[in-house]
Chains A and B, each alone.
Chain A
Amino acid sequence: MKIDRRKFLAGFSACVGGGAVGSMLSPLPWKVMDDVAIWTQNWPWTPVPQDGRYSYVQSVCALCPGGCGISVRKVKSRAVKIEGLKDHPAGNGGLCPLGLSGLQYLYGPARVKSPLKRVGKRGEGKWQPISWDAAISEVSQKLNELRARNKPHSLAWISGENKGILAGLIDRFLKVYGSPNVLRDSTAHDAIDQAAYHTQGQRGTVFWDIENADFILSFGAGLMDGGWPLARMNGFPKSADGGKTLIQVEARLSDTAAKADLWVAANPGTEGVLALGIAHVMIRELIYNIDFINRQASGFEDGVMGGDQVLQGFKSMVLEKYKPEKVSGITGVPVDAIFDIARRFAKSDKAVAVCGRGHGRVAGCMDEALAVHYLNALKGNIHQPGGVFVVADPDYVRFPEPGMDKIAEYGLGQTRVDGAQSEKFPNSRYLLHRLPEIINTADGDSPVQALLVSGANPLYTIPDGKSVKKSFDKIPFIASFSPFMDETAVYSDVILPDHTYLECYRDIVSQGSMDGIVVSLAKPVVRPLYNTSHLGDVIIQIAKALGGYIETAFAWKSYESLLEETFADNWETITSSGYIRMNPQIPGTVATSFNTPSKKFEFNINAGAPEAPFSSAFEKIAMEGDAQNYPLTLIPYDSIRLAGNYPANPPFMTKIIDDTVLKKTHGCIEINPATAKQLRLSEGDAVKLSTPRGEADVQIHLYEGVMPGVIALPRGLGHTAYSEEWGLYGKGVNVNDLMGPIEDPVSGFNMAWGIRAKLTKI
């Protein structure tokens, strides 16, 4: 039979058709269908987490100074969830979103997995993995060279480690090496602490006893915005079952202002003046703590200085210069509101006035810090429960006095590169924000020849990013100890990656309560994932490589042995309960503790004494830029959903940012609808934001809660490092880049709270 095309096709079709019908009657297609459905439920690219034995490791969160207790759930060797640790004094089971995201840092794509040496241009991101020995010798060679050139003081270390053993090791290292240049970021508390020093003569950390207070008058402190560990805001916010009264003074309706009993929308930069207006009312109406002022304060009444020269006291100065009508004109707060706040503050049982804008990232103005502190004195709450304490720093880190060679002694004798602790700014320990300008304007070589960075990300956080970068370009050697590829690590020459806080032991100091400062022990929750090394051990290694007195000063076997040695008798307690307490506060010890010449609380105003810290000409904190070209005022704001500092937002935190803050890659700028209308701007418009320091593209977000004429940008966006997969890369604007520092004349601290700005439609 001849099989032509037609017949073939017919036969073929019959076979196919018959086959199809036949197989439909067999179990085959049904089985295949089922198998296919099962396959969709077990796609090989959808992970199936392995089960195993569960365990919990109790440790502490080190992602901010809060030091909240954590309990980490593990399945076999994997850490799967960070939860709050019940009964820990910091947090008591609650955690902020940052602390809850901790495992994303640990396992995330931004980790530096081994020591790296730069091979491309700086910042290009080309690296070559090297051994730890090689990395340590990179650093030690450079440091040896500086000493050989008799320039040990040209080494600087920017450190985030503030208190505890690591901070002690860094201080000691620079000391025996011969550099005075340990640099740390200053925060609002540096100014507040200095205010306490000027008035009380005590050095230490100011502690506002929020726990025991029933009335908090906050001048812009971001109590609910992550400025303070939320978990410790007991009795906050007020609810049906009671709570503390909170008055929030702020130009923008922050989350703290939203939770306050009363939101006082003062013009930004005038909060301190409002405090003085309140002081005026308290004095005028005799509702201040007369007993405290009479017996334990000096400088309140006018005094006589030799001859017939009268030294004006705080009382007459405030009565004369800060009349509510005038204060109202400056602050925009109605006169009767000033009276009302003053009376409520004065009449509350345990009231405390606090300050520090937002997270308190900017140290701020001494006049303002003093004004607020004066209010507390008028309330007479100094060293009283629910008031203000000055807490001595913990002193458990005590190393034997090291021996030092000539070079070190020479180096230590040189002035600090940032001008802190100098004649001009004797009371300020660190002035990191001055560094870029000093390097950029130095004649000849940079005064910093080598820079070490740990626990900090200065390329992101120091104001005026352009000049920071320029100054870094002049530093011949930069080494980073960051566990993450942050902006500064990317811009360094060598990276010697630290463990994360979940992979090692570390002592963490947090404020605690009147019962004392809490020192907690971070424990290795998991074994180090990558080829990283504890910063403490690395310092010891570098010291060893440098030899001589330096080596001798670091004769410890390892950080861990040092840790155990440091806690000595407390080691048992801190390993079993996870924390110890130090320096409990004894209320009412005022008389014995003031350390001023008068042994009293000193209202130290400069009406007659030019060296006094408070300027009675204070009306508003200065701001950069002219109103002509820059009609608007830009203020940065802090949010609990944004880690504005170090380290950067993990993906979970970025996920909870509202779409009115970040939209795709565009950062949103908050503007009052009335102001927007004047500028013919509407929601979602793309605009160029310009300040005297820089410009950036942003997107308009209309927000009734921001003062007309003021525009607000969040801190914590505009990152250019970490990893693309981290979800933060190239998103929004780093507001630090748009602002310059403004120096406080007394402390040298940065007090820039805003900058003049303009918006132009693109």
Chain B
Amino acid sequence: METPLIPPGVKRCPTWQFALWMAAVGAVLLWGVYAMILVWWKGLNQTNMNDAYGFALWIWADLAVIALGGGAFFTGFLTYIIGKDKLKGIINYAVIIGFICYSSALLILAIDIGQPLRGWFIFWHANVHSMLTEVAFCLSCYFGVLTIEFIPLILENPRLAAKPFLHHLSHNMHEIMAVFAATGVFLSFFHQGSLGGVAGVLFGRPFAYREGIFIWPWTFFLFTWSAAACGPCFTILVTWITEKITGKKLVQQDVIGLLAKIAGWMLITYIIAKSIDTLYWALVTAPGMGFTLMDFYTDHPIYNIGILFAEIVLCGFLPALILITRRGRENGFLLILSVLLAVLGCSINRWVMVLQVMAVPVFSFESWFLYSPSWQEVATTILPVAYGVILISLAHRYLPVFPQEKELNPAN
């Protein structure tokens, strides 16, 4: 008899249902792919970007997915380096989510550049002073690491595991996974920071510019910190969504609780640091360049001062305070609400650091630069989401992603 494709002991939906689901998501994916091809073929004129808005929707998506994909490195860090063994219940999923996020990020970058066929110049003619160079190197390396972290899991598919060679390969890789996790953590710390540096070093953009130490603006550290705080929240959120869709409990609540607690403490410390940074920027850095805080906000539905409140208080302090209190964490609704808010807060932060940077006028005689994305941009931004859903669906169906699934769903 053939070795089954589906891991033993777990229940999966019937093939037709799965196929239908894949077809639906696949259609969205194809739409995205079509837009992507348009952009490659016809050029970036397919977007609504312009010379004032050189970074737009998908760069925000890029930064956001990288930040949220940070769940992988931080959970890895906690699991393999700090030794929180309990987190093994979710580390696989964190790695997959990270893998999706990072591969999406690389894909977006390949779509985003005006000359994709020359993309490798960033490595070949690297300018070591550029934050983007740092990003490109770390991002690519870390993606390699994530791939390596992902492979053993793939090899655990029953049919693949049936091959002795693959089985041993997988086993050996597991043995040395801590090394990769450590490398990944290091790389990730760096590129999350570099991404923060991307905006923070722009001393021509008073809204983005931050002072710092050596070559690193404070945003360098804040980005890493916020990714460490909000990445796990995203992992929790996606796990919860997966559980809702599959109708099964997949990860033990104490695993989630632990991760949420750590994320909560990361978030509260982050948001305090972020608040100090904001205050220093608003009271010292920006006025030194001739700006008051309110110069950076206007009576626009998005770019009003409310966005700062939303980022720091509503999606910062509020979820952080919920997550660090036991009662908050243990309340299912509050837990999900707060990880959702944290994810939103982190996304707002990345939005602000990409899109608002472009929108704020630097000259007193300029007006705000406003932009709305073209459908091609929206489609290519949704493309990674569809891709992620597909990859997650496949992984969940065919790989033993959740080690606790069997014991949590004994009825099968």
| A positions within 8 Å CB-CB of B | 33, 36-37, 39-40
Contact = CB atoms under 8 A, between A and B. Distances in A.
Interface in B107-143: 115, 117-118, 120-121
Contacts of B121: 37
A33 B115 CA distance: 13
B331 to A, nearest CB: 49
Given A37-B117, A37-B118, A37-B120, 7 more contacts: A33-B120, A36-B117, A37-B121, A39-B117, A40-B115, A40-B117, A40-B118
Nearest to B118: A37
Nearest to A36: B117
Interface residues of B, number: 5
A149 to B, nearest CB: 59
A32 to B, nearest CB: 10
Contacts of A33: 120
A184 to B, nearest CB: 44
A39 B118 CA distance: 10
Nearest to B115: A40
Contacts of A36: 117
B85 to A, nearest CB: 36
10 contacts: A33-B120, A36-B117, A37-B117, A37-B118, A37-B120, A37-B121, A39-B117, A40-B115, A40-B117, A40-B118
A39 B115 CA distance: 11
Nearest to B116: A40
Contacts of B117: 36-37, 39-40
A37 B118 CA distance: 5
A33 B121 CA distance: 11
A166 to B, nearest CB: 45
Contacts of A40: 115, 117-118
A37 B113 CA distance: 13
A33 B118 CA distance: 8
A37 B121 CA distance: 9
A37 B120 CA distance: 9
Nearest to B2: A6
A37 to B, nearest CB: 5
Nearest to B120: A33
A40 B117 CA distance: 7
Contacts of B120: 33, 37
A579 B382 CA distance: 67
A664 to B, nearest CB: 14
Nearest to B114: A40
Nearest to B119: A37
Nearest to A41: B118
A40 B118 CA distance: 8
A703 to B, nearest CB: 15
B125 to A, nearest CB: 11
B371 to A, nearest CB: 16
Nearest to A35: B117
Q: Identify the 4 closest CB pairs spanning chains A and B, nearest first.
A: A37-B118, A36-B117, A40-B117, A40-B115
Nearest to A6: B2
A37 B115 CA distance: 9
Nearest to A33: B120
B294 to A, nearest CB: 23
Nearest to A30: B120
B350 to A, nearest CB: 30
A37 B117 CA distance: 6
A436 B50 CA distance: 47
A36 B117 CA distance: 7
Contacts of B115: 40
A39 to B, nearest CB: 8
B299 to A, nearest CB: 15
A39 B120 CA distance: 14
A39 B121 CA distance: 14
A631 to B, nearest CB: 30
A532 B52 CA distance: 45
A318 B349 CA distance: 73
A506 B115 CA distance: 49
A465 B120 CA distance: 59
A36 B121 CA distance: 12
A665 to B, nearest CB: 19
A33 B123 CA distance: 13
Contacts of A37: 117-118, 120-121
A514 to B, nearest CB: 42
Contacts of A39: 117
A9 B171 CA distance: 26
A37 B124 CA distance: 12
B37 to A, nearest CB: 17
B120 to A, nearest CB: 6
A296 to B, nearest CB: 52
Please indicate which of the listed interface residues B115, B117, B120 has the most CB atoms of chain A within 10 Å of its own CB: B117
A223 B15 CA distance: 81
A361 B117 CA distance: 54
A234 to B, nearest CB: 30
A735 B118 CA distance: 50
A135 B363 CA distance: 59
Interface in B18-75: none
B39 to A, nearest CB: 15
A40 B120 CA distance: 13
A33 B120 CA distance: 9
B59 to A, nearest CB: 22
B38 to A, nearest CB: 18
B151 to A, nearest CB: 14
A140 B264 CA distance: 94
Interface in B68-124: 115, 117-118, 120-121
Contacts of B118: 37, 40
A24 to B, nearest CB: 14
A33 B119 CA distance: 10
B110 to A, nearest CB: 14
A434 B244 CA distance: 83
Nearest to A40: B117
A40 B121 CA distance: 13
A661 to B, nearest CB: 17
A704 to B, nearest CB: 14
A117 to B, nearest CB: 41
B147 to A, nearest CB: 15
Please indicate which of the listed interface residues A36, A37, A39 has the most CB atoms of chain B within 10 Å of its own CB: A37
A500 B381 CA distance: 52
A39 B116 CA distance: 12
